[in-house]
C-alpha cells in the first residue's frame, strides 16, 4: 500500500508546511501592494473530517484498527493514499485594514534542507468584514516604541516623579475590547497600560510593581500613531517597594531556605509510555497530541484498550478554546480590563520553552511547536509541550481488620501540559490521565498581579492594598474547555446523549419515616436550550455523557461523567459591557451537536467585536436535538480572585479544573489489575510489616 504522506492528518503543521502555506498565499496576492501589506496572524491545520481520521488510524497509522471503519456489504474500499493536508491562514492587510481567511492545499512539501520544491494550491480566500484579528507580538513592540516616543507622554511621565529614562517605562498594549461605537473594528485599536521599573541594570526586576496611572492613550495599530492622549489625573508613582521582586531571597537582602533536602525523581528503566510521532500509548490509554496557535495543546482521538472489548473511544478532541479575565474595579483604566487571552492573543503563540528540572520532573518527552510570525516567517518554540509520568499518591487501599492483610496500589498519572505567559499572568494547562480511567483537566494560575496606583492615604473597596500607594483589583479568571465526546462511538456514529444528575432529599412520609433518605434523579437534556446548565453543590450535580446503544454488564448505558470542581459565575450586572462578547460565561455548561465550524465560543474574532452574543450563545438558539447526537460539551469554569498580601510579589499557584470519570463504562474498575510497585516493596525492606492482630483489634505502633 502506498503511504503518500508521513504526517498523520491530525499532526500539527510542520515548519516546512507553514512556509509553503505562507508562500502560496503571498504569491496569490492580486497586486504588489496587497502582497506587501500582508501580515500573518495564524497558520493552522485544517483538521479533516472524522472519517478521514478513522481511515488514517485504520490503515495508515497506529493504532492500525480496521474495525474503526463501519462495515459494508462489499467490504471497505481502501484508497492508496489519504487526501492532502490543508492549512488555514488568518491574514491581516496592514495597508487596507482588511482581514481575510485562506485555505491552502499542501500538495507538495519538501524540507528545505533537502533542496526540495514547495507547492501549494489556494482552495479559497474570504474577506471577513467588520472584524479585527488577534494582536501580534511585533505589533506590541511597535506600539510600545511609538508611545514612548510621543512627546506629551514623556512630559506626563516626568510629572510623576521625574521619569525621564524611557528604557524604564513598560507599555503593555491591551486590546480595546468593545465598550461603545468608538471601539468599532473599523480601526485597529489598543489602549495601553503603563508601568515603570526602578532599576535599569536589573533585567529580572518586577516592572508591574509601579503602575503609571491617570494617563489615557489610544493607539492606531494599523498606522502606529497615537490617536488620543490625555493626562486625566495626576496619580503619584508608587514608591519602590523593597519586596517587589520575585528573584531569590539573597537578591532582596535576605536568604533562601536552607533546610530543603534534595528530592530526586528517577525512572532507571525509562518511562512506561510509548511515543510514535504524536501518537501516545500509556496504561491502556492512547491518544494523539496536537497544537494550535490559539488553543495551545489539543488532545485528539482519546481511547482506552479494554480487554476483549478492544479499543473504546472516549473523546474525539479535547482543548481549552477560550479564557476571559474581567476585572471588578469600575475606575479607569481597570473597568476595561476584560482580556480574551485565547481569541485576542493566542495561548499557543504565548507558550514557553519548558526546561527540565523545574517545569517538569522525571523522564520527559518534549514536543516542539511551530508558528508563523507577523511577517510570514516560521518560529519554533522548543520543548513547548511536556509529556511525563507523575506519582499521584494512593490509587486504592483496603486492609482486612480481621487478618491484618492489606492491599494497596500507588496511583500514577500521565500528564500532558504547556505553560503560557500573557502579559503579567502565567497559565499552565494540564491533562492528566489516570490508571482507573479518569481524565482530569487542570489549570494552574500564577504570575504577577495587574495593579493600580493610589493617591496618598487612599484605599479602594474594589481591591487589596498590598504596598504603599499600590493595590490589586478584584477580578475573575474564566476558562472554556471544549470536549468533542465520543463515548463508545466510532467516527461517523452519533450515539451519545447528556444526562444531568441531581441528588434529591426524599419528602417526609411513609418512604422516609426517619427523615434520612435521599436519592439521585436523572434528567435527559433533550435540546440545546434545555442544556444551558449551572453547577449546583447543593444537589451534587454532575453530567453524564452516555452511549445510547451500548450497555454494561448490569444492562445500563455506558457513560463518562463530567464532575465539576470549584466554580463560579460572572460577578457582574447583566448589562456589563464585557458580556456582549462573553455571553458564554452566563452558564457553566453548554451542549451542542457537533458542527465543524463551531469552534470558538465568543466567535472567531472577539477583538473589538461589536456583535452581541456571537458564537455559542447564538448557536444554541437553533435548539437542536441532543437526544441522540455527536455531543460537544462546553464547560465554563472559573475562579474569583480577591488578592491577598501573600500574592505579592508573585502569586503562588492556584489550581482549578474538573474531572471526566467513567460512569458504568467499565464492567469493573480498571484499577484492580494495577500491580504492586516498588514503593510497596520498599516498605517491606524498611521494616514496616503488616500490623499484628491483638484481641480482634489492630495493635497500635
> Which segment, 73-77, 502-506, 694-698, is predicted with the most confidence on average?
502-506
Contact 663, 544 (CB under 8 A): yes
Question: 282 has which bridge partners?
Answer: 285
Task: Classify domain 273-663 by CATH architecture.
Answer: Distorted Sandwich (2.70)
Instruction: Supply the pLDDT for residue 160.
Output: 87
The rounded distance, in Å, linking the Cα atoms of 628 and 251 is 61
Instruction: Supply the pLDDT for residue 678.
Output: 55
Domain 137-246: assigned CATH number = 3.10.450.40
Mapped onto helix, strand or coil, the DSSP state of residue 129 is coil
Q: Is the pLDDT of residue 76 over 90?
A: no
Q: Which residue out of 59, 208, 327, 425 is catalytically annotated?
A: 425
Q: Is the pLDDT of residue 431 over 70?
A: yes
Higher pLDDT, 107 or 493: 493
Quick check: is 425 catalytic? yes
Quick check: is 341 catalytic? yes
Burial 121-136 (b: 16+ CB within 10 A, else e): eeeeeeeeeebbbbbb
Question: 87 has which bridge partners?
Answer: 45, 104
The rounded distance, in Å, linking the Cα atoms of 647 and 644 is 5
Instruction: Supply the pLDDT for residue 251.
Output: 66
What mean pLDDT is predicted for residues 609-620? 95
The pLDDT tens digits for 260-317 are 998 888 899 999 999 999 999 999 999 999 999 999 999 999 999 999 899 999 999 9
Counting runs of H as helices and runs of E as strands, what totals does the chain give? 8, 34
Q: Is the pLDDT of residue 687 over 90?
A: no
> What is the H or E stretch that residue 146 is in?
helix 137-148
Q: For residues 683, 685, 688 and 690, what is the CA-based torsion angle, rounded to 10 degrees?
A: 90
Sequence-ordered list of residues with C-beta below 8 angstroms from that of 113, at least 6 positions apart, any chain? none
Domain positions in the chain are 15-48+83-128, 137-246, 273-663
The rounded distance, in Å, linking the Cα atoms of 40 and 376 is 6
Cell of 410: 500507588
Binning pLDDT at 50, 70 and 90, where does residue 79 land?
confident
- Average model confidence (pLDDT) for the chain? 92
Binning pLDDT at 50, 70 and 90, where does residue 118 land?
low
* Other Cβ atoms within 10 Å of 694 Cβ, number: 10
Binning pLDDT at 50, 70 and 90, where does residue 250 land?
low
What mean pLDDT is predicted for residues 589-610? 97
Give the angle 137-384-438 at the CA atoms, nearest 5°: 125
The rounded distance, in Å, linking the Cα atoms of 624 and 171 is 46
Cα distances from 266 to residues 363, 366, 431, in angstroms, run 7, 17, 22
Instruction: Supply the pLDDT for residue 31.
Output: 93
Phi, psi of 648 (to 5 degrees): -120, 135
> What is the H or E stretch that residue 678 is in?
helix 678-685
The pLDDT tens digits for 1-13 are 444 568 999 999 9
Q: What is the DSSP string of 449-480?
A: ---EE--TT---TTEEEEETTEEEE-EEEEEE
Contact 82, 52 (CB under 8 A): yes
Higher pLDDT, 372 or 115: 372
Binning pLDDT at 50, 70 and 90, where does residue 698 land?
very low
Instruction: Supply the pLDDT for residue 694.
Output: 39
Instruction: Supply the pLDDT for residue 681.
Output: 47
Mapped onto helix, strand or coil, the DSSP state of residue 660 is strand
| pTM over the 0.75 mark | yes
Q: Is the pLDDT of residue 112 over 50?
A: no
Q: Which of 45-54, 61-70, 134-143, 213-222 is least confident?
A: 61-70
Q: Is the pLDDT of residue 561 over 60?
A: yes
Q: Is the pLDDT of residue 425 over 90?
A: yes
What mean pLDDT is predicted for residues 237-260? 84
Q: Is the pLDDT of residue 219 over 90?
A: yes
The rounded distance, in Å, linking the Cα atoms of 605 and 141 is 22
Sequence-ordered list of residues with C-beta below 8 angstroms from that of 487, at least 6 positions apart, any chain? 313, 314, 315, 496, 545, 546, 547, 558, 559, 560, 665
Burial 342-356 (b: 16+ CB within 10 A, else e): bbbbbbbbbbbebee
Q: Is the pLDDT of residue 115 over 80?
A: no
Q: Is the pLDDT of residue 114 over 60?
A: no
Q: What is the DSSP string of 213-269?
A: -SEEEEEETTTTEEEEEEE----PPPPPPTT---S-GGGGTS-------------TT
The pLDDT tens digits for 320-344 are 999 999 999 999 999 999 999 999 9
The rounded distance, in Å, linking the Cα atoms of 441 and 434 is 11
Is the fold of 137-246 the same as that of 273-663? no
The pLDDT tens digits for 648-685 are 999 999 999 999 999 999 999 999 999 886 554 454 44
The pLDDT tens digits for 374-423 are 999 999 999 999 999 999 999 999 999 999 999 999 999 999 999 999 99
Instruction: Supply the pLDDT for residue 197.
Output: 93
Q: Which residue out of 11, 341, 630, 647 is catalytically annotated?
A: 341
Question: 175 has which bridge partners?
Answer: 190
What mean pLDDT is predicted for residues 443-461? 95
Amino acid at each position: 500500500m502506498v503511504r503518500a504522506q508521513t504526517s498523520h492528518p491530525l499532526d500539527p503543521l510542520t515548519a516546512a508546511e507553514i512556509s509553503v502555506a505562507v508562500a502560496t498565499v503571498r504569491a496569490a496576492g492580486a497586486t504588489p501592494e496587497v502582497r506587501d501589506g500582508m501580515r500573518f496572524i495564524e497558520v493552522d491545520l485544517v483538521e479533516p473530517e472524522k472519517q478521514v481520521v478513522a481511515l488514517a488510524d485504520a490503515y495508515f497509522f497506529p493504532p492500525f484498527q480496521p474495525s474503526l471503519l463501519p462495515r459494508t456489504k462489499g467490504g471497505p474500499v481502501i484508497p492508496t493514499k489519504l487526501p492532502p493536508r490543508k492549512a488555514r491562514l488568518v491574514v491581516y492587510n496592514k495597508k487596507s485594514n482588511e482581514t481575510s481567511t485562506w485555505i491552502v492545499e499542501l500538495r507538495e512539501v519538501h524540507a528545505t534542507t533537502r533542496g526540495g520544491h514547495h507547492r501549494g494550491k489556494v482552495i479559497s480566500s474570504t474577506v471577513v468584514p467588520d472584524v479585527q484579528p488577534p494582536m501580534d507580538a511585533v505589533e506590541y513592540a511597535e506600539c510600545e516604541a511609538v508611545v514612548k516616543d510621543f512627546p506629551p507622554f514623556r512630559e506626563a511621565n516626568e510629572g510623576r516623579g521625574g521619569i525621564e529614562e524611557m528604557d524604564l517605562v513598560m507599555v503593555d498594549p491591551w486590546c480595546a475590547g468593545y465598550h461603545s461605537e468608538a471601539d468599532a473594528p473599523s480601526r485597529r485599536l489598543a489602549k495601553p497600560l503603563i508601568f515603570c521599573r526602578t532599576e535599569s541594570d536589573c533585567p529580572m526586576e518586577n516592572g508591574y510593581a509601579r503602575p503609571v496611572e491617570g494617563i489615557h492613550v489610544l493607539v492606531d495599530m494599523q498606522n502606529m500613531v497615537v490617536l488620543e492622549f490625555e493626562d486625566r489625573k495626576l496619580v503619584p508613582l508608587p514608591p519602590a517597594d523593597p519586596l517587589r521582586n520575585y528573584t531569590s531571597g539573597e537578591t532582596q537582602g535576605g536568604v533562601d531556605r536552607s533546610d530543603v533536602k534534595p528530592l530526586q525523581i528517577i525512572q532507571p528503566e525509562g518511562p512506561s509510555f510509548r511515543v510514535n510521532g504524536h501518537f501516545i500509548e500509556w496504561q491502556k490509554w492512547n491518544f494523539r497530541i496536537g497544537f494550535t496557535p490559539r488553543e495551545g495543546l489539543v488532545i485528539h482521538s482519546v481511547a482506552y484498550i479494554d480487554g476483549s472489548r478492544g479499543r473504546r473511544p472516549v473523546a474525539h478532541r479535547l482543548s481549552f478554546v477560550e479564557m476571559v479575565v474581567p476585572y471588578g474595579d469600575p475606575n479607569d483604566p481597570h473597568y476595561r480590563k476584560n482580556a480574551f487571552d485565547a481569541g485576542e492573543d493566542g495561548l499557543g503563540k504565548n507558550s514557553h520553552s519548558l526546561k527540565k528540572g523545574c517545569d517538569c520532573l522525571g523522564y520527559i518527552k518534549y514536543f516542539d511547536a511551530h508558528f508563523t510570525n507577523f511577517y510570514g516567517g516560521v518560529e519554533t518554540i522548543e520543548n513547548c509541550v511536556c509529556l511525563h509520568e507523575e506519582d499521584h499518591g494512593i490509587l486504592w487501599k483496603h486492609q482486612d481488620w480481621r487478618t491484618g492483610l492489606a492491599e494497596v496500589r500507588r496511583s500514577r498519572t500521565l500528564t500532558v501540559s504547556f505553560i503560557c505567559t500573557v502579559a503579567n499572568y502565567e497559565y499552565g494547562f494540564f491533562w492528566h490521565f489516570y490508571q482507573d480511567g479518569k481524565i482530569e483537566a487542570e489549570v494552574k494560575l500564577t504570575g504577577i498581579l495587574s495593579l493600580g496606583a493610589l493617591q496618598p492615604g487612599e484605599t479602594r473597596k474594589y481591591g487589596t492594598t498590598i504596598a504603599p500607594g499600590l493595590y490589586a483589583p478584584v477580578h475573575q479568571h474564566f476558562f472554556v474547555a471544549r470536549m468533542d465526546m465520543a463515548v463508545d462511538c466510532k467516527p461517523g456514529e452519533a450515539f451519545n446523549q447528556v444526562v444531568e444528575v441531581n441528588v434529591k432529599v426524599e419528602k417526609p412520609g411513609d418512604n422516609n419515616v426517619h427523615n434520612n433518605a435521599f436519592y439521585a434523579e436523572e434528567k435527559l437534556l433533550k435540546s440545546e436550550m434545555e442544556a444551558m446548565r449551572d453547577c449546583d453543590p447543593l444537589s451534587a450535580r454532575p453530567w453524564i455523557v452516555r452511549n445510547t446503544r451500548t450497555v454494561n454488564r448490569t444492562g445500563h448505558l455506558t457513560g463518562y461523567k463530567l464532575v465539576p470542581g470549584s466554580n463560579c459565575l460572572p460577578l457582574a450586572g447583566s448589562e456589563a459591557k464585557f458580556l456582549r462578547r462573553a455571553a458564554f460565561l452566563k452558564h457553566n455548561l453548554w451542549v451542542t451537536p457537533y458542527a465543524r465550524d463551531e469552534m470558538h465560543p465568543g466567535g472567531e474574532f472577539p477583538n473589538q467585536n461589536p456583535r452581541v452574543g456571537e458564537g455559542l450563545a447564538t448557536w444554541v438558539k437553533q435548539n437542536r436535538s441532543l437526544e441522540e447526537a455527536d455531543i460537544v460539551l462546553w464547560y465554563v469554569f472559573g475562579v474569583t480572585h480577591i488578592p491577598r498580601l501573600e500574592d505579592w510579589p508573585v502569586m503562588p499557584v492556584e489550581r482549578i479544573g474538573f474531572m471526566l470519570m467513567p460512569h458504568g463504562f467499565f464492567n469493573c474498575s480498571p484499577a484492580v489489575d494495577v500491580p504492586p510497585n516498588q514503593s510497596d516493596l520498599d516498605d517491606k525492606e524498611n521494616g514496616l510489616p503488616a500490623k499484628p492482630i491483638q484481641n480482634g483489634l489492630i495493635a497500635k505502633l
